[in-house]
Amino acid sequence: MTQEPILTARGIVKRYGSVTALNNADFDLYPGEILAVIGDNGAGKSSLIKALSGAVQIDDGEMRLNGEIIRFNSPLDARDSGIETVYQTLALSPALSIADNMFVGREIRKKNFMGKYFGMLDHKEMERVARQKLTELGLMTVQSINQAVETLSGGQRQGVAVARAAAFGSKVVILDEPTAALGVKESRRVLDLIKQLRSRGIPIVLISHNMPHVFEVADRIHVHRLGRRLCVIDPKTNTMNDAVALMTGAKEPESQAA
């Protein structure tokens, strides 16, 4: 790779009591790529993503965004820096509308004194922007932007969560098992959406156990084993069997670079 990575981790350590979830882990995400992170249960994938997205604080090591050292105290810090994460358990509020969900934590206030002094929200403007963002991503099959999220299908909800992550000048989008709970058709839409984000220049980290999905969309695959990056493989020159064998320890990597 000739480009500089946008997001890196070097030697990061995360302990939960006596359990070492991340043991000297490295990570590199390059501009414009879809990087899949795979690993067996308990390998430390979630811990890695939580560290990069500010959900947990690391005990050692260093992380950088665009070359600058980052230290997040909360997911909000990470979000403010442009790292958006969509967790498996979607952080959408079921009773709120699509538009309101897209703006949770970044609501637009009315420009007049009612907004300034009484915090009155500009629902019209939020609806307009939400509609625009969802249309840009080809997601306006949902009938109304005011529809409550609880009335959407799993795929549509995932779409709203991904659109929210992609909509606000994100530098990096992290997706944790975005297709895990979805049917075939819904998974397809989410995979298409992921590819679309890449074509818009947003680098994506995709955590997934689904090898066909990983091999369909990933440019590179980070294999995590026993709390650290084992190797990075190229899906064009490796098979799914190779990936699973590396993940489970049935096979050792040939070289550390890919």
Contact status: 53 vs ligand ATP (CB under 6 A): no
Contact status: 97 vs ligand ATP (CB under 6 A): no
Q: Are 119 and 109 in contact (CB under 8 A)?
A: yes
Alpha-carbon distance of 210 to 254, in angstroms, equals 23
Contact status: 179 vs ligand ATP (CB under 6 A): no
Name residues contacting ligand ATP, limited to 33-52 (CB under 6 A). Answer: 39, 41-47
Q: How many CA atoms lie within 13 A of 113 on its CB side?
A: 0
Q: 99 or 223, CB closer to ligand ATP?
A: 223
Burial (CB count within 10 angstroms: exposed 0-12, middle 13-18, buried 19+), residue 141: exposed
CB of 12 to ligand ATP, least distance (A): 12
Contact status: 248 vs ligand ATP (CB under 6 A): no
Q: 39 or 235, CB closer to ligand ATP?
A: 39
Q: 127 or 176, CB closer to ligand ATP?
A: 176
Q: Which two tokens stand for residue 27?
A: 């990570």
Alpha-carbon distance of 123 to 85, in angstroms, equals 25
Alpha-carbon distance of 125 to 31, in angstroms, equals 31
Q: 56 or 197, CB closer to ligand ATP?
A: 56
Q: Are 224 and 230 in contact (CB under 8 A)?
A: yes
Contact status: 118 vs ligand ATP (CB under 6 A): no
∠ at Cα 37 (32, 42), nearest 5°? 160
Instruction: Give the binding-site size for ligand ATP (rule: CB under 6 A).
Output: 11
CB of 236 to ligand ATP, least distance (A): 25
Query: Which positions touch ligand ATP (CB under 6 A)?
Result: 16, 19, 21, 39, 41-47
